[in-house]
Amino acid sequence: MADDQMMSQMSQKPGFIAALDQSGGSTPGALRLYGIPDSAYADDQQKMFRLIHEFRVRIMTAPAFTGAKVIGAILFEGTMDGEVRGKPTPSYLWEDRGVVPFVKVDRGLEPERDGVQLMRPMPQLDELCERAVRLGVFGTKMRSVINLANREGIAAIAAQQFEIADQIARHGLMPILEPEVSIKSPDKKGAEAILFDELKKRTDALPVGRQVMFKLTLPDVPDLYRPLAEHPRCARVVALSGGYSRAEACRKLAANHGMIASFSRALVQDLRVGMSDAEFEAALAQSIDEIYNASTAKT
Q: Residue 112: CA atoms inside 13 Å, Cβ hemisphere, count?
A: 9
Q: How confident is the model at residue 1 (pLDDT cuts 50, 70, 90)?
A: very low
User: What is the pLDDT averaged over residues 75-104?
Assistant: 97
Instruction: Tell me the torsion sign for CA atoms 284, 290, 291, 295.
Output: positive
Q: Which of 33, 70, 12 is nearest to 229 (CA)?
A: 12
Secondary structure E strands in the chain: 16-20, 70-75, 83-84, 87-88, 100-104, 116-117, 139-146, 174-181, 212-217, 234-240, 259-261
Residues with Cβ < 8 Å from 196, sequence gap 6 or more? 224, 225, 227, 228
Domain boundaries, the chain: 15-296
Mean pLDDT score of the chain:
96
Cα–Cα distance measured from residue 33 to residue 20, given in angstroms and rounded to the nearest whole number: 14
Under CATH, domain 15-296 is a member of which superfamily?
A: Aldolase class I (3.20.20.70)
Per the annotation, the verdict on 180 as an active-site residue is no
pLDDT at residue 26, rounded to an integer: 83
Collapsing DSSP to helix, strand or coil, 223 comes out as: coil
Whether pTM exceeds 0.85: yes
Q: Do the Cβ atoms of 291 and 261 come closer than 8 Å? A: yes
* Distance, first Cα to last Cα, the chain: 36
Give the confidence band of 123 by pLDDT, cuts at 50, 70, 90.
Answer: very high
Q: Which of 178, 198, 281, 290 is catalytic?
A: 178
User: Mean per-residue pLDDT for 9-29?
Assistant: 91
Q: Residue 148 pLDDT more than 60?
A: yes
pLDDT tens figures, 186-236: 999 999 999 999 999 999 999 999 999 999 999 999 999 999 999 999 999
- Establish whether 201 is a catalytic residue: no
Torsion 108-269-240-220 (CA) sign? negative
The Cα–Cα gap between 198 and 203 comes to 9
Catalytic-role residue among 69, 104, 188, 215: 215
CB neighbours of 218 closer than 8 A, spacing ≥ 6?
A: 239, 240, 241, 242, 244, 249, 252, 253, 256, 259
